[in-house]
A = this chain, B = another copy of it.
Amino acid sequence: MKQFTSLADVADPKALVDKVLQLKASGNSNRNIGSDLTLALLFFNPSLRTRLSSQKAAQLLGMESLVLDVNQGWPLEFEVGAVMNDNKSEHVREAAAVVSQYCDILGIRCFPGLKDRDEDYAEPLLSAFQEYGNKPIINLESATRHPLQGLTDVVTIREHRKSVKPKIVLTWAPHPKALPQSVANSFASWVLAMDYELVITHPEGYELDPNVTRGAHIEYDPNKAYKDADVVYAKNWSSYRDYGKIMSNDGRFMVNAEKMALSNNAFFMHCLPVRRNVVVADDVIDSQQSLVIQQANNRTFAAATVMKEIIELSIYE
């Protein structure tokens, strides 16, 4: 693997899921893989799970890590040809080239502006680090994708599925803030890459990018969607069509015990952080069928496997 910025970087997604499970089962046997190598983690936005699980993953491989909260420094300029006489102190060209020299693998988190869809979907920050840096990049959630979460989620489904082709429901849920589409996009992509059945339910107007959801069934009625579901995955996203807008707070889409009862005793999943009793009722997230804590745990093993693949196939190829 040359980099891990989206599902498209992965030649065989199903095989990668197997590798995550193997690494998870292998305990402390990988401590030499990353010896003398350095992981740099750049956060343009806050992080809890991603930050800790990525550092923990580096430790599992014996790698050092460097963590930088970029916004405690100065704002970066992205525009080519800009006359930088305002508040931007450094161009991303230099930042990317410089940071990549201090590490062997570079992890980057940067959320979208949610104002200009074309700009966000062009992934300007990630692209700039790919163009101007020269080290393998791991996407720690970018403007429109969160592939480490997607990989983690299908690994968790794989651990718990009761059939080879489970029915997965991705349900939009209400939220007081406008959120990116990144988790929903990556979850859909990875579930479809596993050849699972995917039903996406949301209020009309909340359709995701059709290029992402091709192969999924869209169902506006959550009660119909939940029928026979093996997994219910909840996530809010702001509108893709009326980009970045909150079009609905429809409480019918909160995951609750009543709707879960329509399912095939489905597992409940969410990437966290989650707003209780807005996105999901307490009695669902606290139930035996809730996998949210297991998902978060698998972040470590997904990240470590991705780093191991990059080390073995790119750095030491």
Contacts and interface: CB of A to CB of B under 8 A. Distances in A.
A248 interface: no
Nearest to A83: B277
- How many chain copies? 3
A316 interface: no
Chain A residues touching B, majority SS: mixed
B176 A293 contact: no
Contacts of A38: 56, 59
A210 interface: no
Contacts of A68: 48, 51-52
A3 interface: no
A50 to B, nearest CB: 11
Interface string A257-287: 0000000000000001111111000100010
B98 A293 contact: yes
Contacts of A59: 38, 64
A94 B85 CA distance: 41
A85 to B, nearest CB: 5
B48 A98 contact: yes
A155 to B, nearest CB: 15
A51 to B, nearest CB: 7
A220 to B, nearest CB: 23
Contacts of A272: 90, 94, 98
User: Ordered nearest first, which 9 A-B pairs have the shortest CB separation?
Assistant: A90-B273, A84-B275, A46-B73, A98-B296, A83-B277, A101-B297, A52-B102, A97-B293, A56-B102
Given A52-B102, A97-B296, 14 more contacts: A28-B36, A47-B73, A48-B95, A48-B98, A52-B66, A52-B68, A53-B102, A81-B277, A84-B277, A84-B278, A86-B176, A89-B273, A98-B272, A98-B297
